[in-house]
Amino acid sequence: RLRLHDGKLIKDRRYHLRTYPNCFVAKELTDWLIDHKEAPDRETGIRLMQKLMDHYIIHHVCDEHSDYKDAKLLYRFRKDDGTFPLSKDVKVFMRGQSLYEKLVSMEESILKVREENSVKYQRTFLGCEMIDWLVQEGEAENRKEAVELGRALLEHGIIQHVSNRHHFFDSDILYQFWINFRRRCRLTELLNENSSRTLSESPDSPFCLRKLNPDPGNTSFLSVQTNKEIKIVSAVRRSSITSLAGNSNPYFSTAPTLVFPPVAECNPKSVLKRPVTNEELLSPGAPYVKKTLTIVGDAVGWGFVVRGGRPCHIQAVDPGGPAAAAGMKVCQFVFSVNGMYALHLDYQTISSLIMTGPRTLVMEVMESIE
């Protein structure tokens, strides 16, 4: 948007005796995207601008077109006409960006390269240092408000504990900015985003559960995409990993095959009756109770599947596995994994934490008391 303003592509334009401020011509913008290597061809340029329309970043000046058309039509950035929707997520992101820019512009910034456990981390700061700075700079009225701001930044993935084990505290724990706001993302990266709606609603979602081997004793949960490519999901059974890697495992009498017999899809859609937000889970008096589960993996894993994100929930539990024995149930929400706050994480991150963590898994979950 700023580059288009500098290049005079965004300007006041007159059409049918009416002046439209701060707008651009779609066809001219598509030309600009190609000329400036932001898109390899017109089709990609159109897809990129449609993505911006879908995210309420640009719109037709009269809202007469819901699609981006590569024609002599006038469109405008919503930030230029005050119609950009400032949701809570957007406000926190913009606050984080503002704080980051202020910090990196200072001569004696608290953001430094620091080392912990022989690992160097970029853009780091101590929690108490950040609290001091926020109060001194007037970004927060007191330390309590500063902690709340830090927690909001962490829950939105803007900052994090360097080893992902702690929420934000007023202490000498080391944190870092997870987002480098000065890295200019290319527009084409938008086309690589996964749609959360597709993941949760598509019948071909990688979280449609099928069994690798129809043997009654095999309760390994695997996911299968339409191309029959096998991917391990969430906290699945470890036998799946070793078998697919070609290691011998007495759990399978024969090597796994990629040819699947007709089987019924299990849980192709979310088991939740309705979406639940973090605010709803954490609000005072909410009908949810927190439980701590200690799950000791057996010879083949833990036996459950996580799905969704922000918050994630338990989608399926192997009735004969360690998770079920520890008291895990479907529809529980993942509050923490091995001491790391997890309500703000997506299923990929939680899956990675579980699969790369210790065999004894400690999870805090929240379940409805209804």
Q: What is the pLDDT of residue 237?
A: 38
pLDDT in tens, 70-104: 999 999 999 888 888 777 888 888 899 899 989 98
User: What average pLDDT does this structure show over 104-123?
Assistant: 89
Alpha-carbon distance of 350 to 56, in angstroms, equals 29
pLDDT band at 150 (very low <50, low <70, confident <90, very high): very high
Percent with pLDDT over 70 in the chain: 78
Highest mean predicted confidence (pLDDT) among 194-208, 213-227, 355-369? 355-369
In the chain, count H helices and then E strands: 11, 17
Q: What is the pLDDT of residue 320?
A: 80
Q: What is the pLDDT of residue 299?
A: 67
pLDDT in tens, 166-212: 899 999 999 999 887 877 777 887 787 544 333 333 332 222 222 22
Looking at per-residue confidence, does 10 or 265 come out higher? 10
Q: What is the pLDDT of residue 132?
A: 96
For residues 113 and 121, the answer to whether their CB atoms sit within 8 Å is yes
Q: What is the pLDDT of residue 209?
A: 27
pLDDT above 90 (res 363): yes
CATH of 278-368, one of 2.30.42.10, 3.30.70.1150, 2.30.30.140, 1.10.10.10: 2.30.42.10
For residues 214 and 264, the answer to whether their CB atoms sit within 8 Å is no
Looking from the CA of 267 toward its CB, the CA atoms found within 13 Å total 27
Name the token pair of 148. 């709340």
**Secondary structure (DSSP) of 183-213:** S---GGGGGGPPPHHHHHH-TT-TT-EEESS
pLDDT above 80 (res 243): no
Q: What is the pLDDT of residue 70?
A: 94
User: What sign for the dihedral angle of Cα 181, 183, 184, 188?
Assistant: negative
pLDDT band at 218 (very low <50, low <70, confident <90, very high): very low
Mean pLDDT, the chain, integer: 78
User: What average pLDDT does this structure show over 156-175?
Assistant: 91
pLDDT band at 346 (very low <50, low <70, confident <90, very high): confident
Q: Which fold has domain 88-177?
A: Arc Repressor Mutant, subunit A (1.10.10)
**Secondary structure (DSSP) of 309-360:** BSSEEEEEE-TTSHHHHTT--TT-EEEEETTEE-TT-BHHHHHHHHHHS-SE
Domain 1-77 has CATH 3.40.50.300: no
User: What average pLDDT does this structure show over 286-297?
Assistant: 90
Domain boundaries, the chain: 1-77, 88-177, 278-368
pLDDT in tens, 257-267: 333 333 333 44
Looking at per-residue confidence, does 195 or 33 come out higher? 33
Residues 6+ apart with CB under 8 A from 143: 131, 135, 170
Lowest mean pLDDT among 39-48, 216-225, 319-328: 216-225
Percent with pLDDT over 90 in the chain: 39
Q: How many CB atoms lie within 10 A of CB 313?
A: 23
For residues 1 and 77, the answer to whether their CB atoms sit within 8 Å is yes
pLDDT in tens, 246-257: 333 333 333 333
pLDDT above 60 (res 268): no
Query: Would you say the pTM of this structure is higher than 0.75?
Result: no
Cα-based distances in Å from 363 to 27, 52, 142, 341: 53, 38, 33, 10
Looking at per-residue confidence, does 231 or 272 come out higher? 272
Fold agreement between 88-177 and 278-368: no
